[in-house]
Amino acid sequence: MKHLNFLIILITILILSCSKGGDTASNSPTTIPTPTPTPTESPVAFTVNVDPGTGNILAVVGSSQLIGVKVSSTIPSAGVTIAVTVSKDVDNSTVFTTSNSSVAADNNFTITGLTPGALCTVAVVVTSKSNATNTKTVSFKLAVK
């Protein structure tokens, strides 16, 4: 009887100590590849040299006005698109529009077609060519004396 109890205890210990065999790959930790980070662009930032400020109107002499757009943020490697649109406030008709691609910080535009007595809104939009959501708009008013 002592031998039978000893045998039962020994078999129980052997059964419990055995582990289920299997694929060794499933027991090893899985390595997840690290994704290559996407480089981020600086948010577009720029100034317009003749912007009179909010609530002020730029007084223009003549039928044209030179404006300078200075991109102060880091310019993306693909460049930026600079769009200038001038609309009459009275009927929202477009007086002038242009769009240029650039990789330079300093950009000059000559707004033409201005008429005396017409209050206009100028919208300057700078957009990254590699990320269309990276954009900034500056608007100001102008009128020909």
SS (H, E, C) the chain: CHHHHHHHHHHHHHHHHCCCCCCHHHHCCCCCCCCCCCCCCCCCCEEECCCCCCCCEEEECCCCEEEEEEECCCCCCCCEEEEEEEEECCCCCEEEEEEEEECCCEEEEEECCCCECCEEEEEEEEEECCCCCCEEEEEEEEEEC
Give pLDDT, residue 20: 61
The band of 79, judged by pLDDT with boundaries at 50, 70 and 90, is: very high
50-61 pLDDT tens trace: 999 889 999 999
Domain-by-domain residue ranges, the chain? 46-144
Give pLDDT, residue 33: 78
What's the CATH number of domain 46-144, 2.60.200.30, 3.40.50.2000, 2.60.40.2550, 3.40.50.1000?
2.60.40.2550
Look over the chain and give the mean of its residue pLDDT values, rounded to a whole number. Answer: 88
pTM (global) more than 0.85: no
Give pLDDT, residue 31: 78
